[in-house]
Amino acid sequence: MLYRKFGKTNEMVSTLGFGCMRLPIIDGDSKNINEVEATRLIRHAIDNGVNYVDTAYPYHGSMSEGGESEPFVGRALKDGYREKVKIATKLPSWLIKSREDMDKYFNHQLERLQTEYIDFYLVHGIDGKSWENLEKLGVKDF
């Protein structure tokens, strides 16, 4: 596996990451992740050098209520796998109405991922208008 420095950080991440937006599902229901197969896939990738796992609040579910991807990732990374990877997830920009919402969603995502920290926290789904709102609410200080 090849690794590269992530941006201006000193974090070395695999050039190939594992995206958790479209995991195997059961009966065509995107909220019903096939956890046995998806866990096998993610752990196989990690066992073979992948150390960057990407998920987001709405993946495998609803834009407003959150999806099943983050909770699945939290379960799949048990048994020592969390320590082997960098997790990337995203602030759901469309749900942010106040500065407090940023903390609320971040803390909720920590719980969903069953972790004490998120390695890379990205802003999800921004456009000019949503970015103006986030700036006004203090996203840069956040």
Q: Establish how many alpha carbons lie within 13 A of residue 100's alpha carbon, considering only the half-sphere containing its beta carbon.
A: 0
Helix, strand, coil tally for the chain in percent (to 5): 35, 25, 40
Report CA-CA distances (Å) from 112 to 8, 121, 130: 28, 14, 24
Q: Give catalytic residues, as residue numbers.
A: 59
Burial 31-62 (b: 16+ CB within 10 A, else e): eebeeeebbebbbebbeeebbbbbbbbbbbbe
